[in-house]
Structure 1
Amino acid sequence: MVSPCHLSQTHRMKPKTAYLDELTAKSKDYKVKVRVLEKRRPKTSPDKKVLYQSLLLQDDKGTKMRGALFADQVEIFEDAIKRNRVYEITNAPISPVKPEWKTNPTDLDYQMTFGRRTIVLPVDNGDDGNYPTIQDYRPISQLPRVPNYAEMFDVVGVVLFVEDQPRMITTNTNCESKVREVVLIDHSTSQPLSISVWDELGEDDQQRCLFQRLVGSKVGLTTLRVSNHRAFSMSTSLSTIIIHSPVGAKAEALASWMTGHHMALTELRSRSKLALLRRS
């Protein structure tokens, strides 16, 4: 399958297979196989007011490179590029990364963008089945209890409680962020799950209203990380998507369970609210 951005003219040279750390702004007629580790939520740049979406790519050597989609590319590649999938990317423009955009000193000096000559092909290398895809919901009872920054999980559950006001938290890097607690439960456990919703997902008042309207309803959250912020809990990531009408077998099973447990869920909502207020 060729991506929506495809070749408009015939190659003069056969693309040469490369690794990410071999690419520079002068790289032409190349192809690289990468896994999409992250596909972050689209944002609008504060200076140029341009919509963009950040990607994190990793090749077979373990080298990582940032990627970026701009403007209408965000919508064009919405379905063509998925988190945790492997792709062969050909002739994507490589551009320098400004030093202030680097998150650590080991980051590559270049990032990948997507132009009119770029081809994106999904790769079936035989091991993709070992990697979760979006909406591959994990039961709450099966979530690991030990934090691992590299692991991310999707969950679907009933919203029991949404913290009314976000709290200001100082992170390990001495940055201040707003966080709001959301409590979920599913039919795999009797122990509610607290989720720390960070940054714009937690501070946005419109998002809070959406969550509060969903109290007592099912919701899906993707790319969550196990956290030790408050005992066992989860935290949103920069890639987290909130799905207000989750579908699929696990979401349907949850809906069936909800039908026969209205009184139990009402009691759990009251207990969850009291527990969270005591910890605040």
Structure 2
Amino acid sequence: MQSKGYKVKVKVIHKAKPKQSPGKKRYQKLLLKDDEGTVMKGAIFHDDIESFDSALKRNGEYEISDAPITVIPEQFSSKVGELQMNFNDRVKIIPVSLNNCSDEPQYTKLSAIPVAEQKTEQKNEMLLDILGVVLFVSETREVNVGHNIQHVRDIYITDDSSPRPMVLSAWNDFTRQECETLSGWAQSSMVVGFVGVQPVTRKGIPFPLLDNIFF
């Protein structure tokens, strides 16, 4: 079943940098929100990443139609039955600012779009969504990875599930503006959501790797 015959109006509230899975599959993650506040993940794969680079901008509002909606495999989702909008060359995208209709079209709710059958195996690594209070952000340190110098900052957060704080590791570009913002929020017990956290294990210890930050 294909998710056709619908039109939604959404805002791109987050657009991550393109990544490559261990299976050499290039992908880019998005977060979309409609007027009712429903949030849905989006995904672009392979060469379509460049094709949609200018068509979908962060904080832009768009009319989108005919994008297949699939259920994210459980090992890659943050909850059971989580849905994802997939973008390919058949998807129609129009910036809301270019809609000259005098009457607003009848948009479909994100929650009401039919789900397409999942036919392709996804090999993306598991991603987690985390919510917690920011306690402290460390200074930037340098780490030598494969003879390349990487910049890392540790973000300490806590929630009511454990007396121990969790440490998230932000790398390279995310050690700058985003971490400076988080450091300021640490003084006011701000609750922050982190989307797309990749769990990794080092020396047998779980270690969340943060390379997508969404406030």
Q: How would you bin the TM-score normalised by the shorter chain?
A: 0.5 to 0.7
- 2:94 is aligned to 121
Partner amino acid, structure 2, of 1:28:
K
- Whether contact under 8 Å (1:37, 1:84) holds in the other structure is yes
Matched, 1:238 2:201: no
Partner amino acid, structure 1, of 2:158:
N
Distance 2:13 2:52 in 1: 15
- Whether contact under 8 Å (1:38, 1:83) holds in the other structure is yes
**Structure 2 vs 1, CA of residues 91 and 231 (structure 1 numbering), >3 Å: closer, same or farther?**
same
1:215-230 equivalences under 5 Å are 221=177, 225-228=181-184
1:199 aligned to 171, 177, 182, which one? 171
Partner amino acid, structure 1, of 2:11:
R
Q: Deviations over 1:133-188 (max 9, x none)?
A: xxxxxxxxxxxxxxxx9xxxxxxxxxxx964454655543765433xxxxxxxxxx
- Whether contact under 8 Å (2:174, 2:211) holds in the other structure is no
Matched, 1:49 2:24: yes
Distance 1:34 1:224 in 2: 29
- 1:4 is aligned to none
Runs of 4+ in 1 over 6 A off after TM superposition: none
**Structure 2 vs 1, CA of residues 44 and 171 (structure 1 numbering), >3 Å: closer, same or farther?**
farther
Distance 1:200 1:238 in 2: 11
- Whether contact under 8 Å (2:68, 2:85) holds in the other structure is yes
Aligned alpha-carbon RMSD (Å): 3.8
- 2:58 is aligned to 83
Q: Deviations over 1:183-234 (max 9, x none)?
A: xxxxxxxxxxxxxxx135469xxxxxxx9xxxxxxxxx579744456548xx
Partner amino acid, structure 2, of 1:72:
D
Partner amino acid, structure 2, of 1:103:
S
Matched, 1:36 2:12: yes
Partner amino acid, structure 2, of 1:119:
K
Matched, 1:172 2:144: no
Distance 2:180 2:31 in 1: 16
Gaps of 5+ in 2: 100-130, 132-138, 144-151, 160-164, 189-193, 195-209
1:110 aligned to 57, 62, 83, which one? 83
- Whether contact under 8 Å (2:141, 2:153) holds in the other structure is no
The one of the two structures with greater contact order (alpha-carbon pairs below 8 A, sep at least 6) is: 2
Distance 2:153 2:178 in 1: 22
User: Which SS does the other structure have where 1:88 is aligned?
Assistant: strand
Give the superposition deviation at 1:95.
1.4
User: Which SS does the other structure have where 2:10 is aligned?
Assistant: strand
- Whether contact under 8 Å (1:40, 1:53) holds in the other structure is yes
Partner amino acid, structure 1, of 2:9:
K
**Structure 2 vs 1, CA of residues 223 and 82 (structure 1 numbering), >3 Å: closer, same or farther?**
farther
Distance 1:169 1:112 in 2: 30
Distance 2:179 2:55 in 1: 18
Q: What is the TM-score of this pair, normalised by structure 2?
A: 0.53
Give the superposition deviation at 1:93.
1.3
Gaps of 5+ in 1: 1-24, 127-148, 150-160, 179-197, 204-210, 212-220, 241-280
Aligned residues: 144
Give the superposition deviation at 1:98.
1.4
Q: Which has the higher strand share?
A: 2
Distance 2:38 2:15 in 1: 17
**Structure 2 vs 1, CA of residues 168 and 238 (structure 1 numbering), >3 Å: closer, same or farther?**
closer
- 2:147 is aligned to none
